A and B are shown apart, each in its own frame.
Chain A
């Protein structure tokens, strides 16, 4: 079992003819993902890495039964691509694009609320269910199938923790990169809810970072509704207030909301073991799963 994507997922790549889209389509195919279609307006009829290209998402869905989209469309056109994906009634939409204007994401999120689609991102690495499929840009070779679910605001930090987990013999059920923007589709709470329904996820690692209050919301949710043990990590303890640390959403406000310490305190009071280092995170997982 897994969450969001599995071996049956049929992926359409929006923006497949761009550099990133083309490269990661090849990478996904190599990993074993069923990339069944690409979409680029005006380029219908072409093929990329043997994958047929359509002009619209609905044509791709009609012809190839796609149920999952991965979006590499540049920021200026990303919102429209996401509206199109939502209109096509897909199960999962993964937005890789970094730098989508925040007001656009707000409008997308407004439309998303009226659908049953799960949006992952924007500005994240996507989703992988090791051994089955990946929808995104995560490096497949560091992942192994297993019992640990991961949800994270950061790509490379996830790879770091997964690499250590794999080295210690703990594989992963699904890893979800929710993205580093101020507004994202699937947040921590929704990801935790999904993992809670997956019998094969025996523990969840939650990697947060400074900015916003999604980790605090996750802590309340864990306290009230999550049985699966959760191990936490929060990046940015040394981040100064008022400075954006790489991700658009990673900023401690001048008045002190969004600090790592707030988030760590909230998670710990919900019973989450929070590691001070990535190695400690793996240690906590080992304590839970032996």
Chain B
């Protein structure tokens, strides 16, 4: 779960990380009042959970209240990378200066947290890692102890942060690590951390929370906002499916992440375009099957649907009954459906399926090819 910038900055402030003075505004008038309180010049920043807001026109630096009014008027209500902007953060502008980076994440390769400092802030850290790895200091953290103070000092000195702010940057890194640990962060980033005459200040703020840990971060779970950029993804989220919408015309429903991904790959392999990833998970009951079909049929681009179920513990005959019951809820099956059942009681399941309403295939490859053909090939 990604926090909005203003939410992340609130956490940062509580953790003692310096941030510019700011106010959240939902209307142009609120933005004007906010700018009067904060004092011009200010940055007017769209609150959406995507990177690259500046380049996309979602951030404006302005000098006067009139300009605040114009900027808020333009940014509020705009569509930014698929997100509707309904709030702006009005924030005291910080003089452009030296830009640093600090961040904390999990290094999957070793299964340990890693804290990072870079002298090349303002650039995507993965770009820096690829182009100029020496510009990043990385400290692996022992999760049993947390970050030792010396590790923050070491990172800051190794990467060559100016002595005048070295202690400030080390303090920010320590505070960010502690916050990341306490609030179950998955990624935390300050990019850029600006060096000013008075020290350092976090101009941007990224804080992503581990979805699996939301149960013990109730206040963060409570501020979770709908992140779906389209109506279908929202619908799938409400049904509790793992769903990702793509651009193609072959709708895909299956059980198990790896098998569903494989089905998408096969659709492409046989000359089609997958419309979505939809994992119904284990133990497909009729309700869940119907909800999955409802989600996929609601995608106007879908021309055919392939159902790929491997009954493991789940029995194929039960899945087939579920599919029949699900289909009963439609007066007319809107698009051709190909069903492939395998595993436990698959043969029995295929007998139960109503071949007037669905096409039944016993091999995964045949099922995918039938669906690709029914959809009429590539879009």
Contacts and interface: CB of A to CB of B under 8 A. Distances in A.
A210 B260 CA distance: 13
Given A75-B215, A238-B246, A279-B365, A255 B261 contact: no
B269 to A, nearest CB: 6
B112 A102 contact: no
Chain B facing A: main interface SS:
mixed
Interface stretch (B13-21, B56-64, B103-111, B148-156): B103-111
A113 to B, nearest CB: 9
B311 to A, nearest CB: 8
Nearest to B244: A243
Contact of B262 (A27, A107, A235, A257): A235
A168 interface: no
Contact of B143 (A27, A107, A156, A260): A107
Given A111-B144, A152-B258, A142 B312 contact: yes
Interface in B198-222: 210-213, 215-216
Contact of B310 (A105, A156, A211, A248): A156
Interface string B236-275: 0000001010100000001111111110111111000010
Contacts of B113: 103, 106
Contacts of B242: 244-246
Given A100-B212, A277-B269, A106 B111 contact: yes
A180 B213 contact: no
A238 B109 contact: no
A139 B313 contact: yes
A248 B211 contact: yes
Contacts of A141: 344
A212 B264 CA distance: 20
A165 interface: no
Nearest to A142: B343
Contact of A235 (B129, B213, B265, B343): B265
A155 B111 contact: no
Contact of A213 (B108, B254, B257): B108
A160 B109 CA distance: 28
B236 to A, nearest CB: 12
Contacts of B142: 110
Contacts of A235: 258-259, 261-262, 265
A193 interface: no
A183 B110 CA distance: 8
Interface string A20-39: 00011001000000000000
Contact of A106 (B112, B129, B279): B112
A156 B262 CA distance: 10
Nearest to B260: A246
Interface in A151-200: 152-160, 163, 180, 182-183
B259 A157 contact: yes
A101 B113 CA distance: 13
A99 interface: yes
A76 B216 CA distance: 8
A110 B265 CA distance: 36
Nearest to A217: B109
B186 interface: yes
B109 A213 contact: yes
B130 interface: yes
A154 to B, nearest CB: 2
A277 B106 contact: no
Given A103-B213, A141-B344, A238-B264, A246 B277 contact: yes
A156 B106 CA distance: 27
A65 interface: no
A253 B109 CA distance: 14
A108 to B, nearest CB: 9
A240 interface: yes
B108 A249 contact: yes
B258 A239 contact: no
Contacts of A75: 212, 215
A247 interface: yes
B257 A246 contact: yes
A73 to B, nearest CB: 14
Query: Taking each of B106, B260, B262, B365, which has the highest tally of chain A beta carbons within 10 Å of its own beta carbon?
Result: B262
3 A-B pairs with least C-beta separation: A154-B258, A246-B257, A156-B256
A158 to B, nearest CB: 8
A254 interface: yes
B258 A255 contact: no
A11 interface: no
Given A101-B213, A239-B264, A254 B126 contact: yes
Contacts of B264: 236, 238-239
Contacts of A255: 124, 126-127, 129-130
B258 A209 contact: yes
Nearest to B209: A101
Nearest to B255: A156
Interface in A213-267: 213-214, 217, 233, 235-240, 243-250, 253-255, 257, 260
A207 interface: yes
B258 A180 contact: yes
Given A235-B262, A239-B244, 16 more contacts: A101-B184, A106-B112, A137-B312, A138-B312, A156-B310, A157-B256, A157-B259, A183-B111, A235-B261, A245-B257, A246-B242, A248-B211, A254-B124, A277-B269, A277-B365, A278-B364
B184 A103 contact: yes
A58 interface: no
Interface in B305-325: 310-313
A26 B342 CA distance: 23
Contacts of B267: 238
B244 A156 contact: no
